[in-house]
Amino acid sequence: MFACIFIPDFPAQAVIRFEPGLRDRPVAVLSGRPPLQKVMALNEHARAVGVDVGTSQSQLEAWGNLELRPRSEALETSAHAAVLDCAQSFSPEIEDTAPGTTLLNLAGLTPLLGPLQKIASDMAERILQMGLEAHIGVAANPDAALLAARGFRGTTFIAKGREAERLGDLSVDILLDSFASNVEQGTRWVETFDRWGIRKLRALAALPEVPVIERLGQHGLRLQQLARGAASRDLRLFEPSRRFAESVDLEHPIVFLEPLSFLLNRMLEQLCARLSARALAVQELRLDLELASIAPNDFDSTSAIAEHDLEQNLDGSSRRRFSRTLKLPVPMLDAKVFLKLLQLDLQAHPPEAPIVKIHLTGEPARPRSLQGGLFQPVFPEPEKLELTLARIEGIVGEGRVGSVELLDTHREDAFAVRHFAPMEGASTLMTKLKSENIRESERGSETEFKNAQELMSAVIALRLFRPPLVASVALQATKPVRLRCIEREDIAGEIVWTAGPWRSSGDWSEQGWSRDEWDIAISSSSSSTSGLVLYRLVQDKLNGHWFVEGAYD
């Protein structure tokens, strides 16, 4: 069995999908250049008040409550991608038939998803969650399912062998609109059938085959087989895309963040609905904004505007592109969290010109699997943690919040702040450690493993002072013998023990050794400490200054 998902009035529904408030209002979609625009699609409410396809914009002034929208290829592309996502969530074998129309193979799905009636009902409900209303046809061959979806409202089931009976009442125009190769050929067939007095598919199916072939050729025979529901073919399988994107062209440029957030909220909800239908989450979110055109002399080449990508227009003006990317620590699927993260990011990095187009792309990933334990502490949710880190970054500045990562360099204390990503759970780490211990014990090295643990426990820690403390050092035979810390009076006295120096250079490009490190011990008589205290003493060879870098525990 095969099913067909057909979206009637597809250009109008694509607009309504982005503006749900228009669902109960008459909507007409215009195409062409002003002032010669004409209606090319409309919804049922507009059809009920008397609007027809082909009506000019000047004639539409008689309907005061009619909502007029220009045709948007970006919205239609997003809506069609949503239809394909819905089909792929039910069957791996689908066909991208036409904009707003897709076919899918239902073979083998009954044991997994239930009876065909339930599958079709779930399909209609899921497509409705994506903001579209669909007609669904189910039949034994793809073309019969397509005719049923285009000819009947709601969900239609056609049992095998009853195709001609169920399709007989449909108009010939539906057949020609579905299978004519072009408009000119469809017009010619309409005129021919009109002269013969054929209005319904039942009349076309009842004609004798030989006279049909003599007058209309093989194309006429195929139309007759389609009218009988007897045509059979394989689906032209569609390769699923791993790209999930939503786009919108704006009628009027957006300047403020509040209206932009309103549009982003709707786009994020649609994107999350599509990903949820495919059982996926978002690992990376990219926002591309197309900014208003500017003349060549409207900006200085040395300004920040020159950092954006520029697209040259026909009139010599340039259209800038502004991009922001959110790399999430774990796969997420929460439109509210995404919206707040984008708002915080745009507040810190606002676009420099009005926005005329919005393009949102989500990099899909498998949802994370998380299982808690009875005796494990409750950790904050990654969504809330990411939002908290974004708020903190908005206060302290970009690049100052995250995880510290040591750099692969000889420079001391060299590190970078990377985007925070949660580490593995404690239970996972304990399981790994236990498995490693078991393997070690099986190899007969349990004693060595315990000795290594004892050695690790004997290592002392160096607590660094940030920033290092400026010191005054007295030398004797090139060795430090007395220390006085300028910033802390308690770090001072005779140096009773030294080790070093260890000389190093921070970068390969430097000539000579630029840093001397000493481990020293001084006697302390303060109330908090007594006896010897170990410090790390450093001399900068480039300027000769001394610093106390840290203290050993």
Domain CATH number, residue 255: 3.30.1490.100
Q: Is residue 389 part of a domain?
A: no
CA pair distance 3, 34, nearest whole angstrom: 40
- Clarify whether residues 203 and 248 are in a common domain: no
Per-residue pLDDT tens digits for 451-482: 544 544 555 778 888 788 888 888 888 888 88
Give the other-Cβ count within 10 Å of 243's Cβ.
10
Per-residue pLDDT tens digits for 185-208: 667 777 888 888 888 888 888 888
- Clarify whether residues 182 and 107 are in a common domain: yes
CA pair distance 282, 287, nearest whole angstrom: 13
- Clarify whether residues 203 and 254 are in a common domain: no
Q: Is residue 91 part of a domain?
A: no
Q: Is residue 359 part of a domain?
A: yes
- Clarify whether residues 451 and 477 are in a common domain: no
Whether the pLDDT of residue 5 is over 90: the answer is yes
Domain boundary among 457, 476, 505: 457
Q: Is residue 381 part of a domain?
A: no
**Entry pTM:** 0.69
- Clarify whether residues 447 and 521 are in a common domain: no
Listed in sequence order, the DSSP H helices in 229-302 are 257-277
Q: Is residue 162 part of a domain?
A: yes
- Clarify whether residues 440 and 545 are in a common domain: no
- Clarify whether residues 157 and 18 are in a common domain: yes
> What's the total number of domains in the chain?
4
Q: Is residue 407 part of a domain?
A: no
Angle between helices 382-396 and 335-348 (to 10 degrees): 10
Contact 18, 248 (CB under 8 A): yes
- Clarify whether residues 55 and 19 are in a common domain: yes
Give the other-Cβ count within 10 Å of 483's Cβ.
21
Per-residue pLDDT tens digits for 239-286: 877 778 888 888 888 888 888 999 999 999 989 988 888 888 888 899
- Clarify whether residues 136 and 166 are in a common domain: yes
User: What percent of the chain shows pLDDT beyond 90?
Assistant: 11
Q: Is residue 484 part of a domain?
A: yes
**In 3-state terms, the chain is what percent helix, strand and coil (to 5)?**
35, 30, 35
- Clarify whether residues 70 and 219 are in a common domain: yes
Per-residue pLDDT tens digits for 120-177: 999 999 999 888 999 999 998 998 999 899 989 999 998 888 888 888 888 888 887 7
What domain range includes position 159? 2-74+97-228
Six-digit token pair at 253? 């440029």
Q: Is residue 400 part of a domain?
A: no
pLDDT band at residue 181 using 50, 70 and 90 as cut-offs: low
Q: Which of 39-53, 192-206, 429-443 has the lowest mean pLDDT?
A: 429-443
